[in-house]
């Protein structure tokens, strides 16, 4: 409360009706929007995000089946197993790279020639896959994957062209947001034991919701800075109950768990 108001209240004992009116007004009148309690989540537009700048996340890939991905090497895209149909030759996927605006005339568009789905993927856990592009792309930074759990905590960046609200449309412009780590025990409780803790890592504002990945962001990376200040991929967008709902964090494939398998698969695909 501002000082002059306090002073007025202290000196206003001579005007009891005026004091009563002010106190009543404080209870009856709605508070102006800016005076409402502070919200820890950033503003509206991924859910609860903002538009990414051109070149900010050069490794972001949009896949034509409606998923995201991250550039792992000049011709391999790391995505989610649930975004692809299985392992084998596949020329049916188009990757769009190098732009935040999917309709930009500078977009790089490359077809796939092979898909590698995590062996043993059955709809639960192991939600990762590699898509090999028919041509190497140049001039775009790749996103290194985390090989240990050292970065599996803290604040993560999420990004994608998916819905900005549950059941909302896909986006033309790349969105970004940040979400805090949620530990396995808390996340497993939230999902009544459906988490596979070794395979999955959770993130989100548990009590308030409001910021999350959503449909169409799947396969895209969740990433943070490593000890050298470089981006490193710690998660792959996998699933959640709705989007950005309080009590339900986003669930991501835990990249550190699969890093060796991803590297081995990448080698078998030619790098
Ligand atoms: N399965 C969704 C997709 O295919 C991603 C859902 C992520 N949901 C969430 N609440 N974080 O795009």
Q: Please write down the HEC assignment for all residues of 184-210.
A: HHHHHHHCCCCCCCCCEEEECCCCCCC
- CB of residue 216 inside a 6 A radius of ligand 1: yes
33: pLDDT confidence band, cut at 50, 70 and 90?
very low
- How far apart are the CA of 73 and the centre of ligand 1, in A? 24
The vertex-56 CA angle with 50 and 60, nearest 5°, equals 90
- Whole-angstrom CA distances from 116 to 11, 31, 33, 76, 184 are 77, 55, 50, 10, 28
Q: Is residue 18 helix, strand or coil?
A: helix
271: pLDDT confidence band, cut at 50, 70 and 90?
confident
Return the best residue to mutate from 69, 80, 214 for the ligand 1 pocket (most ligand atoms within 8 A of CB): 214
Q: Evaluate if residue 200 carries a pLDDT over 90.
A: yes
- Residues designated catalytic: 82, 127, 218
The vertex-220 CA angle with 259 and 118, nearest 5°, equals 45
Each residue of 55-95: pLDDT tens digit? 999 999 999 999 999 999 999 999 999 999 999 999 999 99
Q: Evaluate if residue 29 carries a pLDDT over 50.
A: no
Q: Evaluate if residue 30 carries a pLDDT over 70.
A: no
- CB of residue 243 inside a 6 A radius of ligand 1: yes
Each residue of 164-194: pLDDT tens digit? 999 999 999 999 999 999 999 999 999 999 9
Average predicted confidence (pLDDT) for the chain: 88
Question: In angstroms, what is the C-alpha Rg of the chain?
Answer: 23
According to DSSP, the residues that pair with 175 across neighbouring strands are 51, 160
- Whole-angstrom CA distances from 231 to 128, 173, 195, 245 are 19, 21, 26, 27
Atom of ligand 1 nearest to the CA of 215: 12
**Among all chains, which residue has been given the structure tokens 């002073």?**
7
Q: Evaluate if residue 18 carries a pLDDT over 60.
A: no
- CB of residue 214 inside a 6 A radius of ligand 1: yes
Atom of ligand 1 nearest to the CA of 82: 4
- Whole-angstrom CA distances from 230 to 45, 159, 217 are 26, 16, 22
Q: Evaluate if residue 8 carries a pLDDT over 50.
A: no
Instruction: Tell me if 232 sits within 8 A of 143, measured CB to CB.
Output: yes
pTM: 0.84
Q: Evaluate if residue 24 carries a pLDDT over 50.
A: no
Pick the residue with more confidence: 32 or 226? Answer: 226
- CB of residue 127 inside a 6 A radius of ligand 1: no
Average pLDDT on 148-177 reads: 98
């Amino acid at each position: 409360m501002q000082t002059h108001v306090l002073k007025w209240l202290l000196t206003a004992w001579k005007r009891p009706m005026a004091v009563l009116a002010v106190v009543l007004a404080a209870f009856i009148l709605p508070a102006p929007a800016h005076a409402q309690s502070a919200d820890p989540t950033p503003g509206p537009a991924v859910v609860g995000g903002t538009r990414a700048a051109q070149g900010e996340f050069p490794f972001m890939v949009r896949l034509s089946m409606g998923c995201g991905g991250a550039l792992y090497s000049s011709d391999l895209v790391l995505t989610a197993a649930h975004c692809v149909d299985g392992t084998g030759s596949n020329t049916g996927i188009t990757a769009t790279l190098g732009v935040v605006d999917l309709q930009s005339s500078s977009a790089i568009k490359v077809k796939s020639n092979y898909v590698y789905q995590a062996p043993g993927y059955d709809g639960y856990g192991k939600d990762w896959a590699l898509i090999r592009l028919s041509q190497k792309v140049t001039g775009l930074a790749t996103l290194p994957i985390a090989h240990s759990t050292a970065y599996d905590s803290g604040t993560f960046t999420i990004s994608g062209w998916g819905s900005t609200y549950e059941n909302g449309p896909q986006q033309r412009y790349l969105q970004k947001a940040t979400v805090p780590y949620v530990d396995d025990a808390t996340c497993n409780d939230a999902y009544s034991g459906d988490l596979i803790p070794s395979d999955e890592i959770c993130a989100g504002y548990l009590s308030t919701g409001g910021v999350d990945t959503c449909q169409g962001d799947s396969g895209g990376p969740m990433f943070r800075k490593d000890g050298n200040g470089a981006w490193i991929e710690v998660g792959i967008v996998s699933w959640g109950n709705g989007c950005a709902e309080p009590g339900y964090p986003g669930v991501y494939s835990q990249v550190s768990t699969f890093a060796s398998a991803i590297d081995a698969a990448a080698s078998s695909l030619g790098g």
